[in-house]
Amino acid sequence: MVNPLRKRVKVHLPAVGATLLGALLWLSACATVPITERKSLNLVSDSELLSLSMEQYNQVLRKSKLSTDPEKVQMVKRVGEEIARASEAFLKDSGMESEVKNYKWEFNLIEDDKTVNAWCMPGGKVAVYTGILPFTQNEKGLAVVVGHEIAHAIAKHGNERMSQALLAQLGGLALSVVLSTQSAETSGLFQAAYGVTTNVGVLLPYSRLQESEADRIGLILMAKAGYDPREAIPFWQRMSQGGGSRPPEFLSTHPAPQTRINDLQELIPEAMKYYTR
């Protein structure tokens, strides 16, 4: 039996009607990014996004080799847990205490020296690749990376990217139908929005605006966790110098390194207000 809703999706709406519907969806699904107070589009429910996130997270782990170096593994977990605690405090301080329940933190170190990358899935699933450790060098450098990636999750940048993909590809009327009845297609869109590949793990194609927000929030998170936010400058300098003529994968969709460093220098005084040695 054909679902009547699915048949209805195939009807082409007039351009004006579709535009108005998209505008209404935008207004009704706006979320506020903490600190920057930017309005972002969040069309996907938390439960749907967390389910998709867990599915993709488990898929990546099944295809990856986890590090067995106890010192490095414990360092990743230690830094991650410190920033996770700071993140939950940050959410509460920002009036978003109800969001804390959505995070079930987990931290893994993936053995892959050729991949200079790290990511945090919605829901708090974090992975760091061993290829980025020569650039972090120590716990403070690692805190820069983990704070930045967790900031993406707290700001719901993943939801925003997926919502943009849904809106652009399916149109306003199809959104609720796709999210509720077409799990395979939804999963495909999730993968497209998150740029999941088997050879480099997960790299979210964040816009430069999202990257700047993650930098700002990430500095505050690491400062609240007791890590000096000024360590972000030498870390990004090392990342910039280590890429040669071609930037590492971690930088491929990010702002120009010197632009980022200049911006971070302006953001550090704000983050220092949260820093307690």
Domain tally, the chain: 1
Q: How many Å apart are CA 180 and CA 173, to the nearest integer?
A: 13
- Domain membership of residue 137 (yes or no) is yes
What pLDDT score does 17 carry? 40
Given the DSSP bridges, would you call strands 39-41 and 106-110 parallel, antiparallel or unpaired? unpaired
Consecutive H or E run containing 218: helix 208-224
Q: Model confidence over 207-266: pLDDT tens digits?
A: 778 888 999 999 999 999 999 999 999 999 998 887 544 444 444 556 677 888 999 999
- Domain membership of residue 182 (yes or no) is no
82 catalytic, yes or no? no
- The CB density around residue 195, as the number of other CB atoms within 10 Å, is 17
Q: Which residues pair with 107 in a beta bridge?
A: 126
pTM for the model stands at 0.76
Asked if residue 64 lies in contact with residue 201, where contact means CB atoms within 8 angstroms, the answer is yes
What pLDDT score does 243 carry? 55
- Domain membership of residue 164 (yes or no) is no
What's the domain range around 219?
A: 46-157+199-272
- Domain membership of residue 39 (yes or no) is no
Which is the catalytic residue, given 48, 82, 88, 149?
149
- Domain membership of residue 68 (yes or no) is yes
Asked if residue 193 lies in contact with residue 165, where contact means CB atoms within 8 angstroms, the answer is yes
- Domain membership of residue 184 (yes or no) is no
What pLDDT score does 3 carry? 33
User: Of 277 and 35, which is predicted with more confidence?
Assistant: 35
What pLDDT score does 205 carry? 42
The two three-digit tokens of residue 35, written as one number: 């600190």
- Domain membership of residue 178 (yes or no) is no
Q: How many Å apart are CA 115 and CA 138, to the nearest integer?
A: 18
What pLDDT score does 128 carry? 97
